[in-house]
Copies of this chain bind each other. A is one copy, B any other.
Amino acid sequence: MVSKQILSVLQQVKDGALDIENAYEKLKICPFEDLGYAKIDHHRTIRQGTPEVIYGAGKTAEQIEGIIHSLLSHSPQNILITRLSEESADYLSQRFSLTYDSLSQIGVVNRLKLLTTSGTIVVATGGTSDIPVAEEAALTAEVLGNKVERLYDVGVAGIHRLLSHADAITRATVIIAVAGMEGALASVIGGLADSPVIAVPTSVGYGANFQGLSALLSMLNSCASGVSVVNIDNGFGAGYLASMINHIGGNES
């Protein structure tokens, strides 16, 4: 695309439709057109084809409000707000049509209907304490237009619970395995499935879990092929990546 823009500018210069100074300005910014809009990267929305995402942690409700206004003024896109506190959600829901899930702390503004993928993303957790992170992943994937199936509390200490869902696992296009403590879920699922497994270590546990380190190292050392890992508690990242992969297979006809 960038190449096309350069060629087009050059053609216009040759045709005299554009003088050199303006062409220079265009060329300098062509891949960076968004930079005129300061901190908010409208360009990226287009380039990556996804809703804009606001990381809510550490931002005031007013700051988030400002960013939403700026985004909405530019295009009628979907906006996903992660790690949004209940207080901020209350504030924002009085100003925008906000859908909010308090468990995963995800808010969605101005929801457009997206095409849905033909493939399914399975989101599995080891325990019930992992569910908030899993919901961050699942809701992110749903906002991005994916079919999502949840398998919660299927940890390896009761392996029969997981095995009874072997069908869902083998049918999935992508699987997100969310687990704290020993993080073994990713390996077991990785051994059952033929599809990519995105492992999300959580900080669930205590003592020698060292705030998620145990699950993180466990997942990085998975003896199963097809497993990769995102940051501790990074449900959003897993959901976003799963959506990327799931869209390779296209949408429902």
Interface-centre pick from A24, A57, A163, A203 (highest chain B CB count, 10 A): A163
Surface stretch bound by B, among A86-94, A96-104, A166-174: A166-174
The 0/1 profile, CB within 8 Å of B marked 1, for residues 209-235 of chain A is 111111111111111111111111110
A31 at the binding interface (Cβ < 8 Å):
yes
**Inter-chain contacts of A229 with B (CB < 8 A):** 220, 228-230
The 0/1 profile, CB within 8 Å of B marked 1, for residues 109-147 of chain A is 000000000010000001111000000000000000000
A71 at the binding interface (Cβ < 8 Å):
no
This chain: copies in complex: 8
A95 at the binding interface (Cβ < 8 Å):
no
| Size bracket of the A interface | 35 or more
* A164 contact from B35, B156, B170, Cβ within 8 A: B35
A107 at the binding interface (Cβ < 8 Å):
no
Bound CA span A240–B184, Å: 20
- Across the interface, name the chain B residue whose C-beta is closest to A127: B223
Report A163 CB to chain B, min CB distance, Å.
7
Residue contact B215 to A208, C-beta cutoff 8 Å? no
**Inter-chain contacts of A192 with B (CB < 8 A):** 159
| 10 additional A-B residue pairs with CB within 8 Å, beyond A34-B161, A157-B187 | A11-B20, A156-B156, A156-B184, A156-B223, A159-B188, A182-B222, A194-B244, A217-B218, A245-B248, A246-B248
* A-B residue pairs in contact (CB < 8 Å), sample of 20: A1-B170, A3-B28, A10-B13, A34-B161, A156-B156, A157-B188, A163-B163, A182-B184, A182-B186, A182-B218, A182-B222, A183-B221, A184-B184, A195-B244, A206-B231, A208-B212, A208-B213, A217-B217, A226-B241, A249-B249
